[in-house]
A and B are shown apart, each in its own frame.
Chain A
Amino acid sequence: MQLAPTAFLRDWAFGPLAFGMLVGLVMFFAAAGLIMGVRAWAGTEPVAFGPVVLGAYWFGLAGWLLGIGVWSKWAKEWLGLPVDRTMKTGWQRYFDFTTDHKVIGVQYLVTFLSMFLLAGVLAMLMRIEHMSGDQVLFSPAQYNYVMSLHGITMVFVAVAAVIGGFGNYAVPILIGAKDMAYPRLNALSFWLAAAVPVLLAATFFAGGFDAGWTAYAPLSTENSDGQVLFNLAFITLGLSSIAGSINFIVTVIKLRAHGMGFDRLPIFVWAVFAMSLLGFFFTQYIAAAMLMTLLDRVFGMAFFDFTEGGDPLLYQHIFWFYSHPAVYIMGVPGLALALEVISHFSRKPLFAYRWVVGGILGITALSAIVWAHHMFTAGLSTAELFFFITTTEVISIPTGLIFLGALGTIWRGRLWLRTPMLFALAVVFNFLIGGLTGIFLADVFTDIHLQDTFFVVAHFHYTIVGAGIFGLFAGIYYWFPKITGRTYSEHLAQLHFWWTFLSFNLTFLPMFWLGLNGMNRRIAVYPEELEFLNLLVSLGGFSLGASFLVFLYNILKSWIRGPVAEADPWRARTLEWQTSSPPPVENFTEAPRVVSGPYDYGSPSTAHAVFGASTNPDGAG
C-alpha cells in the first residue's frame, strides 16, 4: 500500500506539494474521463463543463489532499499501517502537511494576505474604470467579472485571514495548549482552503463569473461556466471553515491550561470561539445555497427556476441565513483583536470584560435572526419587515458594549502609541462609522433608497475592512515579533498606518454621498454628475493600494534581517509572550498554570501564569 514515494516526499522541499498536485490532477482527469465515458455510453453529449467538472472536482480535491500528506501522515493509520511522523524544519514546513498550529497560522496568513493584495489590484482596476462615468477600461462583461472576483476574493480573505491566521497561530498559545485539538484536521483545513485561490484563478479560463459575491439565482444558474468553479470554491472554503470551527470549539473547551477558566479567556479567544459557534453551524447553509444552485444548473433541478414554480427568494433567504452571521465572522475577530491590543497598549485591564464577552455572545445570538434586512426591497410582507427591522436595530446594543470596552480601557491608561495600537484605535474609529451608517440601512424607510447603492458599499467596507482588516493589521504588527522572532521598522510601520488610514477614509467616506445621490453598486457606468467625487475616490483608492507597498517592504525586509526580537517586546501579560519568540514546537517548555486574568495590569505582583509544576496556589512569580 505504498501510495507515495516516501523519500521524495520526505526529502524534497516541494515534494508534498508536487505530489499532491500530481495525484490531484491524475484523479481529476481520470474521473473526468470516466464521467465523459459514462455520458457517451448513456447517449448524452460527453463534453459538458458543469457535470464533468462538478463530478471530477471532488476526486481531484481528494487526490490533492491525499497526495500532500493526508494519506502518508494520517489515513494510513485507519488501515493500521504505519504513518510518516517526520516533520520538516525551517521554511520547508510551510510547504508540507505540517500539523503545528503556528505553521498553519502562518500558512493561512501568507495565503490570504496574498489574495488580499491581488484582490486589491482588482479594486484598483475598478477604480480606474470609475474615473469616468463612461466605459474606459473594461467591457461590461469584463467589469462584472473583475467586480465579482474582487468581491468574493475579499470575502474569503475576511472570513479566513484573521480566524484562520491568528486564530490558529494565537488561540492555542493564548489558552496555554500545545496545539489544536485536532492538529491533522487543522492541516487538512488549510490545504482545503488552499484549493480556493486555485479555483478562483481557474474561473478565468472558464469564462469568468458575473453574479457578484452574492451570486443571486437565477443569474447564477444561467451565466458562464466560471460560476460552477465559484460555487465549488465557496463550498470548499465552507468545508474548511466548518472543520476549523469545530477544531476551535473543542480546543477552547477542552485544551485550556490549568487555571484558564472562561472568565480568564483573552477576548480574542472568546471572539474566535463565538464566531466558531456561528461558523460550524451556519456555514452549512452557504453550502446548501451553492449546492442548490449547482443542482439547478447541472442537474436540471428547479429550486430557483420560477418557470417551474421555484423561487429566487429561496436562494436569498438561505444565502443570507449564512451570510449575515458570516459578516460577523469577518468583523468580530478583528474587533476583538483590537480590544486585545488596546488593553496591552493601554497598560490597563480590559474594561467591563464580562460585558464585552456578553456583547460578543449577544451579537452571536442575534446574528442568526437578522438576515432578511438584506432583503428589505425584495418584497417582504409588512410583518417580516417589522420583525427584521427590530432585530437588526437591537443588535446595536451588544455591539455598543464592544465600544464601551474599548473606551473604558483607554480612558486614563498609559497609551503606548505603537503601530499595533494605532491600528487598533483605527478599528474603533472605522467601526464606529460602519456601525452608525448601518443604522440608516437597518431602517426600512431610509434603506429602501440606499439598498444596493454605494452607501452600502461604503458601509460594509467600513465594517469589514475598517474593523476586520484593520484588526488583521493590528494583529500582524502586534504578533510580528512573536511569529518571526524579529522586529519590524516602527517608522515604516507608522508611515504605513497613517497612509493607509487616511487613504482608506478618503476612499470610502465619499461613497456614502455617492450612494445617497444615485450611484447604484456594481456598475461601470454612472451619471456624469458624480464624476468628480468618483475621481476623488479613485485617487484615494490608488493611494490606499500604494500604501501596502510600504507594508510589504517593511515586513519582508524585517522578516529576513530585522533586529532579533525579545520574548516579550510589548511587556504584555498574555501567555504567548511568556515563551520564546518564535515559540518552540508545542509552545511552552513547561506547562503553564494560569493564576490571574490576562489583562490585570497595574498589579505587578501577580503574573497571568506560572510555569512548571509549582504547588503554590497563589502562584506568585
Chain B
Amino acid sequence: MSTSTYTAHDSHAINSMGLWLFIVSETALFSAFIFARYYLTGTDQPSELNIGLGYAITAVLLSSSLLAYGAERRIAKGDRRGFLWLTLGTIVLGALFLVGVGLEWREAAHAFAPPDLFGVVFFSLTGLHATHMVTGLIALCFVWLVGWRGGFGATDHWGVTGVVRYWHFVDAVWLTVFPTLYLV
C-alpha cells in the first residue's frame, strides 16, 4: 500500500494528477454534447458540409500539436530559443485553426443555421471546442510570455508541460468531434 510522507511531496506529480483529472472531467462535458448529436440527429449530415475544409483544419491542428510537443522537448533540453519559436508556431497554427472554424461557420450559417437540428449540434460542438481552443491559446501566450521573460528551465517547466498536455487534449477532442460531425 503506497503512502506518502508528511513533508516531502512531489509537486510535479501532484500537479500532473490534477491536470489528468481535469482532462477526464472535460471529456464528460464533450461526451454529453456528442451524445446529444447522435441522440438528436443520428448520423445525418447535410450535403453542404465542407469536408475538405474540415480535413484541412484537422491537419493544421495536428501540426500544431506536433510543434507543441517539440516546444516542450526544447525547454526540457534548456533550449529557450527553440522553445519560444515552436510555441509561437503552435499559437499561429492554433489561431489558423480558429480562422478555419470561422470560415466553416460562415458557410454553415447559410446552409444549416440553428434551429436546424444539425446546425444545433454542429455549432454547439465546434463552439465548445473552439472555446477550449481559445483558453489553450491564452495559456500558450502566457507560457510564451513567461518564457520570453526568462522563466522556465530544463528542470522547471511544469507550466509548459501542463499547457502542452492540455493542448494535446483539445487536439484529441477534435479528433473525436471531427468524425462525429463529418465522417460517421
21-40 of chain B: CB within 8 A of chain A:
21-22, 24-26, 28-29, 32-33, 35-36, 39-40
CB distance from B23 to the nearest CB of A (A): 10
Is there a chain B Cβ closer than 8 Å to A472's Cβ?
Answer: no
CB-defined contacts of A280 to chain B, threshold 8 Å? 21, 24-25
Contact B3 A259 (CB under 8 A): yes
State A284–B115 Cα separation when bound (angstroms).
24
Is there a chain B Cβ closer than 8 Å to A591's Cβ?
Answer: yes
Across the interface, A79 reaches (CB within 8 A) one of B24, B33, B36, B142, namely B142
State A147–B17 Cα separation when bound (angstroms).
41
Is there a chain B Cβ closer than 8 Å to A124's Cβ?
Answer: no
> In the complex, which residue of chain A has the Cβ closest to the Cβ of B146?
A80
Is there a chain B Cβ closer than 8 Å to A361's Cβ?
Answer: no
The answer to whether A303 and B36 touch (CB under 8 A), given A254-B4, A254-B17, A262-B1, is: yes
Contact B142 A78 (CB under 8 A): yes
CB-defined contacts of A160 to chain B, threshold 8 Å? none
Contact B13 A254 (CB under 8 A): yes
Contact A302 B114 (CB under 8 A): yes
Interface-located stretch among B50-58, B59-67, B82-90, B117-125: B117-125
Contact A301 B142 (CB under 8 A): no
CB distance from A575 to the nearest CB of B (A): 11
Is there a chain B Cβ closer than 8 Å to A90's Cβ?
Answer: no
CB-defined contacts of A79 to chain B, threshold 8 Å? 142, 145-146, 149
> In the complex, which residue of chain A has the Cβ closest to the Cβ of B22?
A246
CB-defined contacts of B13 to chain A, threshold 8 Å? 254
State A292–B9 Cα separation when bound (angstroms).
41
CB distance from B146 to the nearest CB of A (A): 6
State A280–B20 Cα separation when bound (angstroms).
11
Contact B120 A303 (CB under 8 A): yes
State A596–B71 Cα separation when bound (angstroms).
48
CB distance from A196 to the nearest CB of B (A): 19
CB-defined contacts of B150 to chain A, threshold 8 Å? 80
CB-defined contacts of A285 to chain B, threshold 8 Å? 28-29, 32
CB-defined contacts of A261 to chain B, threshold 8 Å? 1, 3
103-135 of chain B: CB within 8 A of chain A:
114-117, 120, 123-124
CB-defined contacts of A185 to chain B, threshold 8 Å? 18
State A190–B109 Cα separation when bound (angstroms).
40
Is there a chain B Cβ closer than 8 Å to A311's Cβ?
Answer: yes
Is there a chain A Cβ closer than 8 Å to B151's Cβ?
Answer: yes
Is there a chain B Cβ closer than 8 Å to A257's Cβ?
Answer: yes
Most chain A CB neighbours (cut-off 10 Å) among B13, B21, B35: B21
State A318–B29 Cα separation when bound (angstroms).
11
> In the complex, which residue of chain A has the Cβ closest to the Cβ of B13?
A254
State A378–B59 Cα separation when bound (angstroms).
44
307-361 of chain A: CB within 8 A of chain B:
308-311, 314, 317-318, 321
Contact A303 B159 (CB under 8 A): no
Is there a chain A Cβ closer than 8 Å to B47's Cβ?
Answer: no
State A288–B120 Cα separation when bound (angstroms).
14
Across the interface, B40 reaches (CB within 8 A) one of A78, A260, A314, namely A314
State A247–B14 Cα separation when bound (angstroms).
10
The answer to whether A181 and B3 touch (CB under 8 A), given A281-B24, A309-B40, is: no
Across the interface, B3 reaches (CB within 8 A) one of A80, A258, A299, namely A258
Is there a chain B Cβ closer than 8 Å to A526's Cβ?
Answer: no
State A593–B21 Cα separation when bound (angstroms).
28
CB-defined contacts of A176 to chain B, threshold 8 Å? 6
CB distance from B141 to the nearest CB of A (A): 11
CB distance from B152 to the nearest CB of A (A): 10
The tally of residues in A whose CB lies under 8 Å from a CB in B reads 54
The answer to whether A292 and B124 touch (CB under 8 A), given A242-B25, A246-B18, A253-B17, is: yes
State A302–B17 Cα separation when bound (angstroms).
37
CB-defined contacts of B7 to chain A, threshold 8 Å? 591
CB distance from A368 to the nearest CB of B (A): 11
CB-defined contacts of B115 to chain A, threshold 8 Å? 300-302, 305, 308, 310
CB-defined contacts of A177 to chain B, threshold 8 Å? 6
CB-defined contacts of B35 to chain A, threshold 8 Å? 318
Contact B142 A256 (CB under 8 A): no
Is there a chain B Cβ closer than 8 Å to A544's Cβ?
Answer: no
State A311–B10 Cα separation when bound (angstroms).
48
State A247–B17 Cα separation when bound (angstroms).
10
Is there a chain A Cβ closer than 8 Å to B155's Cβ?
Answer: no
Is there a chain B Cβ closer than 8 Å to A255's Cβ?
Answer: yes
Is there a chain B Cβ closer than 8 Å to A592's Cβ?
Answer: yes
CB distance from A367 to the nearest CB of B (A): 15
CB-defined contacts of A309 to chain B, threshold 8 Å? 40, 117
Contact A308 B29 (CB under 8 A): no
Binary CB contact string for chain A from 45 to 59 against chain B (1 if under 8 A, 0 otherwise) = 000000000000000
Is there a chain B Cβ closer than 8 Å to A559's Cβ?
Answer: no
CB pairs A–B below 8 angstroms (30 shown) = A80-B150, A242-B22, A246-B18, A246-B21, A246-B22, A250-B14, A254-B9, A254-B10, A254-B13, A255-B9, A257-B6, A258-B4, A260-B3, A261-B1, A280-B21, A281-B25, A284-B32, A288-B29, A288-B32, A289-B32, A300-B114, A300-B115, A302-B114, A302-B115, A302-B116, A308-B116, A310-B120, A314-B36, A314-B39, A318-B36
Chain A residues with CB under 8 Å of chain B are 78-80, 176-178, 181-182, 185, 242, 246-247, 249-250, 253-263, 280-285, 287-289, 292, 295, 299-303, 305, 308-311, 314, 317-318, 321, 588, 591-593
Q: A310-B40, A318-B35 are in contact. List 11 more A-B contacts (CB 8 A).
A: A80-B149, A242-B22, A242-B25, A250-B17, A254-B4, A254-B14, A285-B32, A287-B29, A292-B33, A295-B120, A303-B36
Closest 7 CB pairs of A and B: A288-B32, A302-B115, A591-B6, A284-B28, A261-B1, A284-B29, A308-B115
